[in-house]
Amino acid sequence: MADCIIGFIINPIAGMGGAVGLKGTDGEHVLGEALRRGATRKAADRARETLKTLRATDPDIRFLTCAGEMGASLLRDEGFEAEVVHVPGKPTTAYDTRKASEALMEDETQLILFCGGDGTARDIVSIIGTRLPVVGIPSGVKMHSSVFALTPADAAHLTHSFIVTGALRDAEVMDVDEDDFRDGVVRSTLFGLARVPDDNAHVQPTKSSYSGGDAEAEAEELAMFVAEEMREGTVYLLGPGSTTAHVARAIGQDKTPLGVDAYLDRKVIGLDLSEQDILRLSQGHDVITIVVTPIGSQGFIFGRGNQQISQKVVRSVGVDNIVVIATPTKVRDTPILRVDTGDPLLDSEMRKPVKVLTGYRRRKLMRVA
> Does residue 72 lie in a domain region?
yes
Contact 247, 227 (CB under 8 A): yes
Establish how many alpha carbons lie within 13 A of residue 352's alpha carbon, considering only the half-sphere containing its beta carbon. 8
pLDDT computed for residue 185 by the predictor: 54
So what's the pLDDT on residue 141?
78
Q: Is residue 314 part of a domain?
A: yes
Whether the pLDDT of residue 34 is over 60: the answer is no
Query: What CATH number is attached to the domain comprising 283?
Result: 3.40.50
Contacts of 17 (CB under 8 A, 6+ apart): 23, 24, 25, 30, 31, 34, 39, 141
Backbone angles phi, psi at 177, to 5 degrees: -75, 115
The answer to the question of residue 141 being in a domain is yes
Regarding whether 23 and 163 lie in a shared domain, the answer is: yes
**Residues 313 and 288 grouped into a single domain:** yes
H or E element in which residue 349 lies: helix 344-350
Residue 304: count other Cβ atoms within 10 Å of its Cβ. 27
pLDDT in tens, 324-347: 999 998 898 888 999 999 999 999
Residues 130, 217, single domain; the answer is no
Residue 137 has pLDDT above 60, yes or no: yes
Say what the pLDDT of residue 108 is: 87
Share of the chain above pLDDT 70, in %: 87
Q: Do 100 and 15 belong together in one domain?
A: yes
Mean pLDDT value of segment 82-86: 96
Q: Give tens-digit pLDDT for 273-310.
A: 999 999 999 998 999 999 999 976 689 999 988 989 99
Domain that holds residue 315: 213-366
Distances (CA, A) of 314 to 236, 302, 303, 350: 13, 10, 12, 10
Q: What pLDDT, on the 0 to 100 scale, is given for residue 305? A: 85
- In this prediction, residue 258 carries a pLDDT of 85
Residues 66, 96: contact at Cβ < 8 Å? yes
**pLDDT for position 214:** 73
For residues 70 and 303, what is the distance between their CA atoms, to the nearest angstrom? 22
Same-domain status, 193 and 104: yes
Task: Tell me the mean pLDDT in the region 258-267.
Answer: 95
308 and 225 in a common domain? yes
Task: Summarize the confidence of residues 190-219 as an average pLDDT.
Answer: 79
Whether 207 is in a domain gets the answer: no
Same domain, 218 and 162: no
Q: Are 331 and 253 found together in one domain? A: yes
Most confident of 13-17, 28-32, 155-159, 210-214: 155-159
pLDDT of 204 > 70? The answer is yes
Residue 212's pLDDT is 47
Exposure class string for 246-256: b at 16+ Cβ within 10 A, else e: bbbbbbebebb
d(CA 157, CA 67): 25
Q: What pLDDT, on a 0 to 100 scale, did the predictor assign at position 340?
A: 93
pLDDT-derived band at 200, boundaries 50, 70, 90: confident
CA distance 115 to 8: 8
Establish if 31 belongs to a structural domain: yes
**Among the listed residues 276, 294, 259, 239, the one whose alpha carbon sits nearest the alpha carbon of residue 181:** 259
Is the pLDDT reported for residue 208 higher than 70?
no
- What's the one-letter identity of residue 131? R
Read off the pLDDT of each residue in 61-81 and give the average, rounded to a whole number.
Answer: 96
For 289, half-sphere exposure in the C-beta direction (CA atoms, 13 angstrom radius) is: 17
pLDDT of 19 > 90? The answer is no
Q: Is the pLDDT of residue 181 over 80?
A: no
Looking at every residue in the chain, the average pLDDT score rounds to 88
Higher pLDDT, 238 or 33: 238
Q: Note the pLDDT of residue 290.
A: 98
Parallel/antiparallel/unpaired status of strands 5-10 and 62-66:
parallel
**3-state SS record for 306-323:** CCCCCHHHHHHHCHHHEE
Phi, psi of 170 (to 5 degrees): -80, 150
Residue 206 has pLDDT above 80, yes or no: no
- Split into its structural domains, the chain has a count of 2
Residues 152 and 260 in one domain: no
Rg over alpha carbons for the chain, rounded to the nearest Å, is 20
CA–CA separation, 89 and 5 (whole Å):
25
